[in-house]
Amino acid sequence: MKELSVLLKDIRKKKPLIHHITNQVTMNFLANGILAAGGSPMMALHYEEAEEAVMAADALVLNIGTVEPDSIKAMVLAGKKAKELGIPVILDPVGAGLSLLRKKAVEELVEQVSPDVICGNAAEISFLYGGDWGGKGVDGDQSENDDELALHAASKLGSVIVITGKKDAVSDGKECIAISGGHEILSYVTGTGCFSTSLIGLFMARSLETGLSCCQRAAGALTMLGICAERAKAVSAGPGSFQTALLDELYLLNPEDLNTAGRWS
Amino acid sequence: MKELSVLLKDIRKKKPLIHHITNQVTMNFLANGILAAGGSPMMALHYEEAEEAVMAADALVLNIGTVEPDSIKAMVLAGKKAKELGIPVILDPVGAGLSLLRKKAVEELVEQVSPDVICGNAAEISFLYGGDWGGKGVDGDQSENDDELALHAASKLGSVIVITGKKDAVSDGKECIAISGGHEILSYVTGTGCFSTSLIGLFMARSLETGLSCCQRAAGALTMLGICAERAKAVSAGPGSFQTALLDELYLLNPEDLNTAGRWS
Amino acid sequence: MKELSVLLKDIRKKKPLIHHITNQVTMNFLANGILAAGGSPMMALHYEEAEEAVMAADALVLNIGTVEPDSIKAMVLAGKKAKELGIPVILDPVGAGLSLLRKKAVEELVEQVSPDVICGNAAEISFLYGGDWGGKGVDGDQSENDDELALHAASKLGSVIVITGKKDAVSDGKECIAISGGHEILSYVTGTGCFSTSLIGLFMARSLETGLSCCQRAAGALTMLGICAERAKAVSAGPGSFQTALLDELYLLNPEDLNTAGRWS
């Protein structure tokens, strides 16, 4: 898809500022991944600076992986300000059903912020859609019909829904894109799920010029990650060298190679 | 020791969920290390979700490396719930004698939680045993008679004691295992001590079937780290490539190679 | 410069303890970088232990990258105690003008602690000097006359000022050193700016014997980073392998190779 190559070229040229209020476990990897892909990451935490920090941003990524009451407050303030300014908001509801605290976090964020995109695994999106929590810790298993779940959840929640798994699914309630590719070694590196969300943030950045739909932009980010993961796998011995090579491949990817042929359905 | 190979095979099959309330410096490395070794890591921080989060876990790792009053509260709540449910609790008393805050943290955790295993360097275990703090920052020097210290501290504290150093020592107050191996370059990568504790958590996971004693399981984890460190050292130029290679070797280790011959005494 | 080789040998021998109150994004990288270069890192966060923790340190590094009201309190307490004990304090005013919270943090730290060294990019130092904030997020652009800015800011603030950029500038208000070298791929790895500050902390450690001026010690740290970055670039494919190689090169650097010829002006 030629428009995706143009989008990636524009990312590399404009280096959009992707602001994160995110978990403590993977923030370093997210920052390095955004830099490697061509963006400019920013992380801030405290609600006192939440509104000011988001003002310079081209997209806002919210991730509840190690959420606390204070960070919920920061996320709501930043999210509302972002929406007011037309800055896209992308939510990763990590472990959504694990605790009342996380349930409260996602409910407040969905109701008060209404994120443009919500990106999670099947267990997390199922929980947001129907309230059932079948997850184990923060890593959810793949369900058989993610396409359908994405479609229904998007209709109900009014956000573009992304479900990551062996095969990813993206829907806005009408359009639905299934993305294949990547490699299972991704599941041996912490934060690759979180990074999917961050990379979608980068592809959604407001400063970019494109005629692509939201679904296509999100699917484009997942395609980039899939291609780079396959290339990194080919030159690595295990998850340590894979993570290193993944950052290299994100940096090295030629925009012309961001090809969806045989990947989207 | 054949039972250790069986245990590692069981880890790879069941992917036990190792929950952490741990420090901010090394949490990414711990999560990647647990994934590479075959487990499933989880990190949560806040006391509001401490009891819920631990319920899905197969082991709980507590680490006071960047402790705060709120995280002590979370650790005590999670630790008590874990003990109630029969989930093994492993404590790493990082820099135990450095401040009153850390002293308070370890005292509360020892008294109220009574961890199954306490894993630290000689300075930290000495402090827990006798109240003296000879540590420099958070890195303690090796003492000459760690075997004896482990034995006495285990008797006094009622936990399995692990002392990491050039030679590791494990004791439950009766049995005592000294483990040799590893490589000094481990001390040039932050979090390898914390990771010893996490890996012990993985080997102690409640979901695993084994006839091994607690001491043997803990010693098995340290043996795995030692073997993988030696292999990683052989293919790396310095601490950067060593850390990367260590994650690869944890992932690649054939359970049959988890051999204690010439390592335990 | 022969004295720099002697200084690095002394670092490797004494392994000075560099205490950090720093941001959550890059703390793992800073700890690994300090270890690789030959020092001993320590991180603690909470104000309750701020004064005790700093007492064992040879230098104190303060970084406001993910600052919160509680960490400002910890930084002020630790900073004042450090100055009282003659322990050098190095401040990195990350994103200084981004929010009122950060403005308050740097004002309190400059007024109440009076850091020995302040190390930032041109946007951050301009803000401290004149109150104007032209930064984009936390990454500032290079200005044309950093030498002059460093000189004036040092006079006004009474600290040694370090401005990092394509060419670094160090001044105490009289002496001024411009340092060339390094590689632009440094800007594709998060925390390399923070690490400049940490490495300056290591070169400033109170336990080291040297006749070098503060400016020369700071410039020496930046020279070490520049040389190691160039060597790492030569053996890496992208930012992932570069970061790994950089840690290796910091560890491998022969003190005799810490050569300023053609680098300082």
User: Average pLDDT in the A145-156 region?
Assistant: 93
- Distance, in Å, from the CA atom of C13 to the CA atom of C3, rounded to the nearest integer, reads 15
Taking CA atoms, A256 is separated from A4, A202, A222, C85, in Å, by 9, 18, 16, 59
Residue with tokens 């006192």: A48
| CB-closest option in B98, B191, B241 to C248 | B241
Cβ contacts of C52 on chain B, cutoff 8 Å: 98-100
Which residue from A248, A193, A198, A199 is spatially nearest to A224, judged by alpha carbons? A199
pLDDT averaged over 10-residue windows placed end to end, chain B, 265 residues: 95 98 97 98 96 96 97 98 98 96 97 98 94 65 77 96 95 96 96 98 95 97 98 98 98 96 94
pLDDT of residue C130: 86
Which tokens is B243 given? 């850390």
B68: left (phi over 0), alpha (psi -120 to 50) or beta: beta
Tell which residue, A137, A79, A73, A132, has the closest CA to residue A105: A73
Q: Which residues of A touch B (CB under 8 A)?
A: 23-26, 28-29, 65-69, 95, 98-102, 136-139, 187-191, 236-241, 243-244
Cβ neighbours for A125, distance < 8 A, ≥ 6 positions apart = A93, A118, A149, A150, A153, A161, A163
State residue A219's pLDDT score: 98
Residues across chain A = 265
Chain B residues with CB under 8 Å of C41 CB are: 190
Token pair listed for B117:
């295993």
State mean pLDDT over A238-249.
Answer: 98
- Tell which residue, C42, C41, C96, C44, has the closest CA to residue C67: C96
Q: For the CA atoms of B15, B21, B25, B27, what is the dihedral angle to 10 degrees?
A: 10
CA distance A62 to chain C (A): 15
Chain A: nearest CA to B9, how far in angstroms? 17
Q: List for chain A the helix, strand, coil content (%; round to 5).
A: 50, 15, 35
C-alpha span between A74 and A47 (Å, rounded) = 4
State the DSSP H helix or E strand holding residue C41, giving kind and residue range, or none if neither: strand C40-43
**What one-character DSSP code corresponds to residue A158?**
S
Q: Give the per-residue pLDDT at C54.
A: 97
Chains A, B: CB contacts within 8 A come to 100
Contact at CB, B239 and C248, closer than 8 angstroms: yes
User: Is C46 in contact with B139 (Cβ distance < 8 A)?
Assistant: no
If you search the block for the tokens 């936990």, which residue do you land on?
Answer: B159
Tens digits of residue pLDDT in A212-231? 999 999 999 999 999 999 99
Q: What is the mean pLDDT of residues A71-76?
A: 98
State the CB neighbour count (10 A cutoff) for residue B116.
Answer: 23
- What is the predicted pLDDT for the residue at A131? 72
pLDDT of residue C156: 95
According to DSSP, the β-strands at A117-121 and B117-121 are: unpaired
pLDDT of residue C101: 97
Which ranges constitute the DSSP H helices of chain A? Answer: 2-14, 27-37, 50-54, 69-85, 100-108, 122-130, 146-157, 192-203, 214-234, 239-252
Measured at the CA of A93, the angle between CA A88 and CA A94, to 5 degrees, comes to 130
CA distance B80 to B108: 11
Q: Say if residue A42's pLDDT is above 80.
A: yes
Which of A195, A149, A208, A180 is CA-nearest to residue A9? A208
Which portions of chain C are predicted below pLDDT 50? none
Q: How much is the pLDDT for B137?
A: 62
Alpha-carbon span A122 to A150, nearest angstrom: 9
Question: Across the interface, do B251 and A243 touch by the CB < 8 Å criterion?
Answer: no
Residues A93, A124: Cα–Cα separation, whole Å: 7
Does A189 have pLDDT greater than 80?
yes
3-state class (DSSP) for residue B45: coil
The answer to whether the CB of A52 falls within 8 A of the CB of A81 is no
Tokens of C16: 């000075």
DSSP for C145-205? THHHHHHHHHHHHSSEEEEESSSEEEESSS-EEEE----GGGGGSTTHHHHHHHHHHHHT-
Which DSSP string do the residues of B56-86 spell out, in sequence order?
T-SEEEEE-TT--HHHHHHHHHHHHHHHHHT
Q: Out of A42, A46, A248, whose CB is closest to C237? A: A248
Cα dist. A14→A8, A58, A205, C240 in Å? 10, 10, 10, 22
Amino acid of residue C156? K
- Output the pLDDT for position C137: 62
Q: Tell me the backbone φ, ψ of residue C242, rounded to 5 degrees.
A: -65, -45
DSSP code, position B97: T
Closest to A195 in 3D by CA, of A249, A146, A142: A249
At A116, phi and psi to the nearest 5? -65, -40
Contact B69 C57 (CB under 8 A): no
C244 within 8 A of C252, measured Cβ to Cβ: no
Using an 8 Å Cβ cutoff, are B167 and B265 in contact?
Answer: no
Give, in degrees to the nearest 5, the angle at Cα B43 between B41 and B45: 165
Report CB contact under 8 Å: C98, A53: yes
What ipTM goes with this model?
0.95
Lookup: tokens for B208: 């695993």
Per residue in A116-140, pLDDT tens?
999 999 999 999 998 777 666 665 5
